[in-house]
Amino acid sequence: MKSTASILNNPFLNKGTAFTQAERQSLGLVGTLPSHVQTLDEQATQAYTQFQSKPNDLEKRIFLMNLFNENRTLFFRLMDDHVVEFMPIVYDPTVADSIEEYSHLFTDPQNAAFISVDDPDNVEAALKNAADGRDIRLVVVTDAEGILGMGDWGVNGVDIAVGKLMVYTAAAGIDPAQVLPVSIDAGTNNATLLADPLYLGNHHKRVYGDQYYDVIDRFVTAEQKLFPESLLHWEDFGRSNAQVILDKYKDKIATFNDDIQGTGMVVLAGILGALNISKEDIKDQKFVTFGAGTAGMGIANQVLDELKRAGLSEDEARKHFYAVDKQGLLFSDTPDLTAAQKPFTRDRAEFDNADELTTLAAVVKTIHPTVLIGTSTQPGTFTEAIVKDMAAHTERPIIFPLSNPTKLAEATAADLIKWTDGKALIATGIPAGDVDYKGTTYHIGQGNNALMYPGLGFGLIAAKAKVLNGETLSAACHALGGIVDTTKPGAAVLPPVSQLTAFSQKLAEIVAQSVLDQKLNKEPITDAKQAVADMKWIPEYKSLD
Ligand SMILES: NC(=O)c1ccc[n+]([C@@H]2O[C@H](COP(=O)([O-])OP(=O)(O)OC[C@H]3O[C@@H](n4cnc5c(N)ncnc54)[C@H](O)[C@@H]3O)[C@@H](O)[C@H]2O)c1
Ligand SMILES: O=C(O)C[C@H](O)C(=O)O
Ligand SMILES: [Mn+2]
């Protein structure tokens, strides 16, 4: 029999006041709880009332995290009941505040594994100890060099791994006992953290190069050895490492980078939704990506793939893209190009005014894009003048200001609707309320990878995929078509978060089917739908007596 403390302090087993009398007897809990036995419903109602009494979003998050630390079943039951309200609290944007305050507010490691670049010999031990015998099927790892658009947050960034995993369970139904958040503490270049005696990570600058890649390699090796059936999700790595790491492992194991591929997927799905509304062809679009980093180039690659599938040659397809970064429009001779940027550069000879194309305004004026994507981390950069200029040359401009959190968005949905007289087809990185303009209510899609990665990941795990390839990514991007009624005035380009569970399920089935169709499953599975249904965890108490 387990000790009293090991049950009440185990969030995967704990039921608190819902332990039945029989369980209290058999588990040695008699007299350790008040005598009235509550149902999960009663606990959820009571907890929601407490949640509502919290004065602000960060306090609400702290309350929910305490519940999460104590009792995962109750936490996810509550999240199931209130997913639209809880998403911005447990995930983006409030997760950004909690990351900034992580070291100061720390009370519980939340069953994460903490790997230190200074202790490479204990990488495997860290994973093993944190898993504590659990059958891990999903790992979300971050080194937190590029947390959302807020830069380097060192060990504090573990909260993004915890938050992404919460969304996985709420959206797709992965068993919370089968997930593992991982922090790789490679140091930090955040001067505020380094100067803070309360900072809980390594107090030294970030390590790069061979020493860093050696730890990553040890991590991947140990992760695959300990959890051979798991999917490995990379989150918020820096621009110089994200693509390199993905390229190194993507053909060998079941893995994906959420900022590159998850974001590419949601943006392509959003563009397809927008084109469904405008009844235009993707082959007629000109794409400007503003902020040509991890997400910007991930998006460009996913859209490029779509153009090729629509029949364009590689060369023709690339001509549809204009990548803009700090230097302005990226040309083949622009200094300091990243590996991901190089294939998307333009030739100076294409333009009479190439030397002037150093700002977004000049690029929009010259190119007349039909699609403008913001992944720049620069707030307010989609100005009224730029947006009006774009709208003057295309009937339904597609404009996605995606930088997170809220304070970094390139524009607000309300401004974009106003400046384009209701013509813009919009998705935003964080949740945006409806916009009422001249008698129409515009619903704004959330262009956040949270719409995609839970279904993608769950489908890959359920189908026991060996790898994730372009075929499956493409199938997933098309999965959301038809969920939104695009004939309604003011329709959103993506489905609402209120339908997150339903479309994550659909997405998982499509992904699993694609894996099976390509015979990429590690073990024999015949029915994708059944495999997804069999994996689904429901927040209900299981009998422990
Ligand atoms: N909505 C989503 O699902 C989603 C997904 C991923 C990333 N994002 C957001 O996108 C942003 C970028 O994330 P990332 O992971 O690509 O980061 P990143 O650091 O890899 O890329 C940011 C890019 O913006 C460029 N940039 C900085 N200042 C600029 C300026 N003044 N003009 C033009 N470009 C400039 C940088 O040089 C860099 O290339 C973040 O705010 C992040 O939250 C959103
Ligand atoms: O975390 C998010 O909200 C989306 C995305 O992964 C990001 O880095 O901004
Ligand atoms: Mn991210």
What pLDDT digit, counting tens, does each position of 126-138 carry?
A: 999 999 999 999 9
**Residue 228 alpha carbon to ligand 1 centre in Å:** 33
CA of 148 to the centre of ligand 2 (A): 5
Q: What's the pLDDT at 12?
A: 96
- The single residue of 15, 60, 102, 164 carrying the catalytic annotation is 164
Quote the ligand 3 centre to 258 CA distance (angstroms).
6
Distance from Cα 147 to the centre of ligand 3, integer Å: 6
User: Relative to the CA of 338, which ligand 1 atom is closest?
Assistant: 39
Q: Determine whether the shortest distance from the Cβ of 404 to ligand 2 is under 6 A.
A: yes
Pocket mutation for ligand 2, best pick of 263, 294, 373, 400 (most atoms within 8 Å of C-beta) = 263
Q: What residues have CB less than 8 Å from 417, skipping those under 6 apart?
A: 424, 426, 435, 437, 442
Three-state SS annotation for 21-82? HHHHHHCCCCCCCCCCCCCHHHHHHHHHHHHHCCCCHHHHHHHHHHHHHHCHHHHHHHHHHC
Query: For ligand 2, what atom is nearest to the CA of residue 164?
Result: 1
What ligand has the least distance to the C-alpha of 150? 1
**Does ligand 1 come within 6 angstroms of the Cβ of 296?**
yes
Closest among 541, 534, 287 to 400, alpha carbons compared: 287
The overall average pLDDT reported for the chain is 96
- pLDDT (tens digit, 9 = 90+) per residue, 203-256? 999 999 999 999 999 999 999 999 999 999 999 999 999 999 999 999 999 999
Q: ipTM of the predicted structure?
A: 0.99
* Tokens linked to 56: 């602000």
In this structure, the strands spanning 435-437 and 287-290 are unpaired
Residue 93 Cβ < 6 Å to ligand 1: no
pLDDT digits (tens, 9 = 90+) for 455-496: 999 999 999 999 999 999 999 999 876 677 788 899 999 999
Residue nearest to atom 8 of ligand 1 (CA): 403
Q: Is the CB of 145 under 6 A from ligand 2?
A: no
Q: Whose CA is nearest to atom 18 of ligand 1?
A: 293
Match 């599975």 to its residue by tokens.
Answer: 525
Name which of 13, 252, 5, 233 is nearest 133 in CA terms.
13
Rounded to the nearest whole angstrom, what is the distance from the C-alpha of residue 259 to the centroid of ligand 3?
5
Return the pLDDT at 544.
Answer: 87
CB of 225 shorter than 6 A to ligand 1 = no
Kindly give the pairing relationship between strand 398-401 and strand 425-428: parallel
Q: Are 48 and 78 in contact (CB under 8 A)?
A: yes
Please count the other Cβ atoms lying within 10 Å of the Cβ belonging to residue 281: 9
| Mean pLDDT per 10-residue interval, the chain, length 545 residues | 82 97 95 97 98 97 96 98 96 96 96 98 98 98 98 98 98 98 98 98 98 98 98 97 97 98 97 95 98 98 98 97 98 96 97 98 98 98 98 98 96 98 97 96 96 98 98 93 80 94 96 98 97 98 90
Q: State the pairing for strand pair 435-437/440-442.
A: antiparallel
Question: What would the pLDDT profile of 160-193 be if each residue is shown by its tens digit?
Answer: 999 999 999 999 999 999 999 999 999 999 999 9
**pTM of the full structure:** 0.97
pLDDT at residue 482, rounded to an integer: 65
pLDDT at 2: 66
Given the residues 91, 102, 453, 541, select the one marked as catalytic: 91
Look at ligand 1, atom 40, and give the residue with the nearest C-alpha.
Answer: 149
- Residue 190: both structure tokens together: 């955040």
Residue type at position 190: N
Torsion of CA 86, 90, 96, 99, to 10 degrees: 160
Question: 90 C-alpha vs ligand 2 centroid, how far in Å?
Answer: 13
Q: Whose CA is nearest to atom 6 of ligand 1?
A: 259
Looking at all shown ligands, the one closest to residue 241's CA atom is 1
Atom of ligand 1 at shortest distance to CA of 450? Answer: 3
**What is the per-residue pLDDT for 1?**
52
| 532 close to 462: Cβ distance less than 8 angstroms | yes
Six token digits for residue 309: 């599938």
Which ligand 2 atom minimizes the distance to the CA of 448?
Answer: 4
Residue 164 annotated among the catalytic residues of the structure:
yes
For the Cβ of 377 lying below 6 angstroms from any atom of ligand 2, the answer is: no
Q: How far is the CA of 92 from the centre of ligand 3 (A)?
A: 10
Which residue's alpha carbon is at the smallest distance from atom 7 of ligand 2?
148
The total number of residues shown for the chain amounts to: 545
Atom of ligand 1 nearest to the CA of 267: 3
Kindly state if the Cβ of 449 falls inside 6 Å of ligand 1.
yes
At 280, list the tokens: 């235009």
The contacts of residue 297 (CB under 8 Å, 6+ apart) are 243, 260, 289, 323, 338, 340, 341, 344
pLDDT of residue 3: 82
User: What are 333-338's contacts with CB under 8 Å, separation 24+?
Assistant: 338/239, 338/240, 338/243, 338/292, 338/293, 338/297
Which pLDDT score, from 0 to 100, does residue 487 have? Answer: 85
